[in-house]
Structure 1
């Protein structure tokens, strides 16, 4: 878009009581943001849903002055601006009714023909949650997904770091302008994120820092992605809001189940219980549900379920195979001091759980 188009679109965005839905309706009626601000008030009042409260502050010239200042900030910081009607605007986000009319970005973002998922969850992520998140990202690497999150404490930064570690593109959606970073302690990750993806926001450099911004930001996280994955969540939390938004956009939602006694699993368990999310127990659940295909020169990783529970007999066999690498059924039975029928049954259960695999010659080995 031209600088003049940007000026008027920023001015329209700056007007109180005009959100993205109303702004799009006005632009569609008048042809452009400039057309909106130059249209007669009586003509705009005829548009459905446009009342006196919305029009009250429309013609205040202060909005154009503030827009000029923001343009200077944009230009001096090499910020790219995407307009909702242009080709460089994220395609999946275009289909969301409340997506921002302008999206500001820095970094090396490329969303063309990419698998895109968002990973969200509690800021008080457990060690089990961290391990699951890291294993999930690592095992999805052959599919080359873009990892979206919110750059916050806990699950968000775990997802970003896992993406960077596996050379995947990652995008942080911010709840503030690009003139600052929150939390400040995550500033050390900024260069890596920009190198491997970048930052998105629809907030200005002059916007006040507000907790409600995080909830507004969540629509971008959900809208950019074909699926939202909730790693851990308490009974209430921002990640559940993101999941609800994703459902409203008719996107897939996954949730990692946990023990009913774990406070940080209540939210995920409820999503699954109320059929608002697919139960996620192994990384391959994601490409299976989303129907992802691998390129011809890539092979899927052989996956075992994450955090499976083994009974006493299975643990004995597993530990023995881990030490001996691979072994025959009869030898396993002898060395583990177990009857063959019990070893055979346990090996089958362990194979179904994805922790061992059979080999030619009636051998078995740990995956």
Structure 2
């Protein structure tokens, strides 16, 4: 980590992707600032005014103030060219070149899974969040829970990790060492004391306008092998995090809920539209991320995988003898199950994208090779 790394991110007119482009052209921040205006315009194809700002090192005084600010407040600045930088985050095309960390930087490179959800969490959502985190802490050595320290599901995930003895990382949309919301400062202190970290890409001199939450969400998604949406309305930050995770080829998972519950509409839609894998337990998350197969399963997902079905679901699916629609009465006669049990299995098959319900209480098989 050098002061040039900070200065590069503080140069006016050079955004996140502009920094990534310059690093691709020159290798590291020191080489960027060592380049002439001509080389910056020729090799990096910068506008002359931007090349001039870099060549004249115009952001260096601000970077020196930030360097001293970090030392004063006990913050660690990590550049993407440092070995401590989290490798999964480095894989995305719009990674932040500098992270500001309060706590243990090593937590960012653990086996991370992101758990996000609505600020208006229900008792069901809080319970599911707690059960998932406890199950992961029991089953996955070195697991780290990533979230955004917001009200509702986010802070519930952090608290559940702390209670279970697991590390947790909070990605915030403000400059450190403060956290937003301020009411969660006690939780932030506990996170750091337990070996976790509070993370931001924002330096202390950025103007706070409350516009950094969407950008923050991409970091939550990118730090982890997968993202779990516990509860969310039809729109909101949690679904944006899921969208980012999907765009980065990371696993997207969702906890289903009742169709009439507003807080479950987002996860239900993700599952219905086959944008998320249905998860009911920590075992489902471990299986989706292939963590039961060893460390190699912790990276970006492979595409084109068929949804996994339980043995009972697979048995019911086998009752679809052709591509013709089948009524629930016919299915009941073929499988010998009661109405209630069969309805639950049909719901699972529908959420897995294996069948679709038609008018008249009939179902049709969608895929043959499951």
Q: TM-score range by the shorter chain?
A: 0.7 to 0.9
Of 121, 143, 148, the residue aligned with 1:150 is: 148
1:282 CA drift (Å): 2.6
Of 175, 178, 184, the residue aligned with 1:177 is: 175
Which stretch of the first structure deviates more once superposed, 205-214 or 84-93? Answer: 205-214
Contact 2:36 2:55 in 1 (8 A): no
Structure 1 residues 110 and 37, CA gap change in structure 2 (3 angstroms):
closer
Q: Distance in 2 between matches of 1:270 and 1:54?
A: 44
Map 1:245-260; keep pairs closer than 5 Å.
245-260=244-259
Of 131, 134, 139, the residue aligned with 1:138 is: 134
Question: Alignment partner of 1:104: what SS?
Answer: strand
1:39 aligns to 2:35 (yes or no): yes
1:223 aligns to 2:219 (yes or no): no
Question: Alignment partner of 1:260: what SS?
Answer: coil
Of 64, 68, 73, the residue aligned with 1:72 is: 68
Which stretch of the first structure deviates more once superposed, 123-132 or 209-218? Answer: 209-218
Aligned counterpart, 2:330: none
Q: Distance in 1 between matches of 2:158 and 2:124?
A: 17
Give unmatched runs, 5+ long, in structure 1: 296-344, 354-367
Contact 1:17 1:53 in 2 (8 A): no
Q: Distance in 2 between matches of 1:49 and 1:267?
A: 42
1:123 aligns to 2:119 (yes or no): yes
Map 1:184-199; keep pairs closer than 5 Å.
184-196=182-194, 197-199=196-198
Structure 1 residues 41 and 113, CA gap change in structure 2 (3 angstroms):
closer
Aligned counterpart, 2:368: none
Give unmatched runs, 5+ long, in structure 2: 295-336, 346-370
1:294 CA drift (Å): 8.8
Question: Alignment partner of 2:42: what SS?
Answer: coil
Which stretch of the first structure deviates more once superposed, 31-40 or 210-219? Answer: 31-40
Of 75, 86, 90, the residue aligned with 1:90 is: 86
Structure 1 residues 97 and 49, CA gap change in structure 2 (3 angstroms):
farther
Q: Distance in 2 between matches of 1:268 and 1:9?
A: 39
1:57 CA drift (Å): 4.1
Contact 1:108 1:195 in 2 (8 A): no
Q: Distance in 2 between matches of 1:261 and 1:203?
A: 39
1:62 CA drift (Å): 4.4
Contact 1:122 1:155 in 2 (8 A): yes
Please, what is the CA RMSD of the aligned residues? Answer: 2.6
Kindly report structure 1 stretches of 4+ aligned residues shifted beyond 6 Å.
none
1:205 CA drift (Å): 1.4
1:109 CA drift (Å): 4.2
1:238 aligns to 2:237 (yes or no): yes
